[in-house]
Amino acid sequence: MTLPPGPRTPKLVQTAQLLRDPVPFMEKARRRYGETFTARVARIGHIVFITDPPSIKALYSADRDNIVAPGRNAILEPLLGPQSLLLVNDSEHLSRRKLMLPAFHGERMRGYEQVMEGAAEREVGRWPVGESFPLHPSMQAITLDVIMRAVFGVTEERRDDLRERLLLILGATQSPLALALTVDWAQRLGIFRRVREAIAESDEILAAEIQERRADPDLADREDILSMLVAARDENGEGMSDGELRDQLMTLLMAGHETTATGLAWTFDLLFRTPAAMERLLAEIENDDHEYLDAVVEESLRLRPVVMFAGRQLRKPMELGGYELEEGTVVGASMYLAHTREDVFPTPYAFRPERFLDESPDTYSWVPFGGGTRRCIGAAFAQFEMRVVLRTILRMVELRPATDEPEEMMRRNVTLSPRRGTPAVVERRRERVPVAA
Ligand code: HEM
């Protein structure tokens, strides 16, 4: 099969580079081989990277014919379960997604504003003044709290127990040892046994929540996403089983927690390095406007797109980036390369929220949430949460970076994460400004 050109180094070297330092690897390949290139990757074989808007549009528009790239299931299935929206394909994916979509409708997100503000306020209340601390773990604490309350709607008496288990599970999935969770014999080792136990215990807590929702006569009045999923019915009047509800909750946790926290940490780093943008944002927040805040979030997700690429395997031959690709080819739309095209985003490496003030981002040039029928279901949730958390924090404290060095991007799972965790210092706490309704 004829594939676009790409680095000729051995497969294992390319795999290691993609895993360790994906951004320099991809930038170099683009410089050398152009906007469409092939990387050779262990387990998968080849990934053809596309980076131009027409090819990205063509790929996402053909989503009914594509399936998720191989490799996702092996790592994620033991934790997410077989019915996870992230893992199922074809008509099963379509029907699950239809059931879940209404709960994530953009308009509904306003209902979570107080939960998001509260989570940020509690976390900021714990920050030291005048000492360096990493922002990234704090953002993780906020996004986990938000998921437990807004998505799981977990009852107060179960919250601490669940948090403890989820932290253990999330910690394990972020270590390079996570792969061992998929290997049977490794389960006998103490550390993995504990993770397995934590999964079983969190499943029990979620099962108790699900039972309570099923028995609740006032289910329709509840605002959390679990309640909506319990109430959802397909065209045959069928709802989700307990097992599927559990799988979708774990999926929302795994897909929504680390990603949003990382997006927030990057936004702070970019604002730290661009004082004029920080000043303009602070002035706007004081006046209760949100145009610049929205643009800051969009620009941050452009320059630091969090997820490296969203892969598909072609089920039919397709022309992409000027190449005839055969059925079976794995294609990855590279968010980072798409977002740093000079022809689409002039001065692409500058953090300039102004570029999105008068113009909304284009669907196939700005793709932090992927696209097509698999576009991130939590995109509106994540963007709204980023805005509310940023606004709440900046209203409460004056922050400065703890070092002069901008953060470097490193891979953590599927995310591009700030290498040092975005160290910051609280200069002073601000007078409490009443939060707008
Ligand atoms: C800044 C934060 C986030 C980023 C950058 C992000 C990015 C992505 C990307 C790139 C995909 C794959 C899209 C594709 O294959 O075309 C995805 C899928 C998904 N995301 Fe997000 N996400 C974020 C937050 C969230 C949140 C908060 C939730 C839920 C509460 C969520 C739930 C999901 C789910 C369930 C999928 C699978 C959708 C499907 O296969 O149909 N994400 N996300």
Q: How far is the centre of ligand 1, averaged over its atoms, from the C-alpha of 346 (Å)?
A: 27
Cα distance from N-terminal residue to C-terminal residue, the chain: 59
Q: Are 255 and 376 in contact (CB under 8 A)?
A: yes
Q: Answer yes or no: is pLDDT of 117 > 50.
A: yes
**Which whole number is the average pLDDT over 18-37?**
95
pLDDT of residue 436: 46
State the amino acid at position 405 in one-letter form: E
For residue range 373-386, list pLDDT tens digits in order.
999 999 999 999 99
pLDDT of residue 437: 37
Q: Is the CB of 165 under 6 A from ligand 1?
A: no
Alpha carbon nearest to ligand 1 atom 39, residue: 374
Tokens of 376: 């991130």
**pLDDT > 90 fraction of the chain, expressed in percent and rounded:** 79
Question: What residues pair up with 132 in beta bridges, in sequence order?
Answer: 425
Q: Answer yes or no: is pLDDT of 293 > 80.
A: yes
Q: Which atom of ligand 1 is nearest to the CA of 415?
A: 5
Q: How far is the centre of ligand 1, averaged over its atoms, from the C-alpha of 254 (Å)?
A: 9
Q: Which atom of ligand 1 is nearest to the CA of 97?
A: 41
Q: In terms of Cα–Cα distance, which of 180, 157, 147 is closest to 248?
A: 147
Q: Which atom of ligand 1 is nearest to the CA of 93?
A: 41
**Which whole number is the average pLDDT over 172-198?**
67
Q: Is the CB of 378 under 6 A from ligand 1?
A: yes
Helix H or strand E segment including 425:
strand 423-429
Q: Are 54 and 36 in contact (CB under 8 A)?
A: no
- pTM for the predicted model, two decimal places: 0.95
Q: Is the CB of 72 under 6 A from ligand 1?
A: no
Q: Which atom of ligand 1 is nearest to the CA of 306?
A: 5
Residue 20: band (very low, low, confident or very high) from pLDDT cuts 50, 70, 90: confident
For residue range 95-115, list pLDDT tens digits in order.
999 999 999 998 889 999 999
pLDDT of residue 172: 79
Q: Is the CB of 256 under 6 A from ligand 1?
A: yes
Q: How far is the centre of ligand 1, averaged over its atoms, from the C-alpha of 425 (Å)?
A: 31
Helical H runs in 325-378?
Answer: 335-339
Q: Answer yes or no: is pLDDT of 393 > 50.
A: yes
Q: How far is the centre of ligand 1, averaged over its atoms, from the C-alpha of 276 (Å)?
A: 31
Beta strand 37-41 with 423-429 is: unpaired
d(CA 60, CA 56): 6
pLDDT of residue 226: 96
Number of Cα atoms under 13 Å in the Cβ half of residue 387: 23
Q: Answer yes or no: is pLDDT of 434 > 70.
A: no
Residue 72: band (very low, low, confident or very high) from pLDDT cuts 50, 70, 90: low
Which of 50, 369, 374 for a ligand 1 pocket mutation test, highest count of atoms within 8 Å of Cβ? 369
Alpha carbon nearest to ligand 1 atom 19, residue: 376
pLDDT of residue 65: 87
Q: How far is the centre of ligand 1, averaged over its atoms, from the C-alpha of 37 (Å)?
A: 25
pLDDT of residue 107: 84
pLDDT of residue 263: 98
d(CA 435, CA 116): 12
Average pLDDT value for the chain: 92
For residue range 340-364, list pLDDT tens digits in order.
999 999 999 999 999 999 888 999 9
Q: Answer yes or no: is pLDDT of 181 > 60.
A: no
Q: Is the CB of 332 under 6 A from ligand 1?
A: no
pLDDT of residue 54: 97
Number of Cα atoms under 13 Å in the Cβ half of residue 207: 7
pLDDT of residue 64: 87
* Helix orientation angle between 242-273 and 72-80, rounded to the nearest 10 degrees: 110
pLDDT of residue 412: 84
Length of the chain: 437
Torsion on CA atoms 168, 169, 175, 180, rounded to nearest 10: 120
Which of 376, 381, 384 for a ligand 1 pocket mutation test, highest count of atoms within 8 Å of Cβ? 376
Chain centroid to Cα 307, Å, comes to 6
Q: Which residue has the higher pLDDT, 62 or 175?
A: 62
d(CA 57, CA 37): 17
Q: Is the CB of 97 under 6 A from ligand 1?
A: yes
* Helix orientation angle between 156-174 and 242-273, rounded to the nearest 10 degrees: 70
Q: Which atom of ligand 1 is nearest to the CA of 333?
A: 16
Q: Which atom of ligand 1 is nearest to the CA of 225?
A: 30
Of 51-55, 96-100, 429-433, the one with minimum mean pLDDT is: 429-433
CA angle 144, 145, 151 (to 5 degrees): 85
Q: Is the CB of 260 under 6 A from ligand 1?
A: yes
pLDDT of residue 179: 54
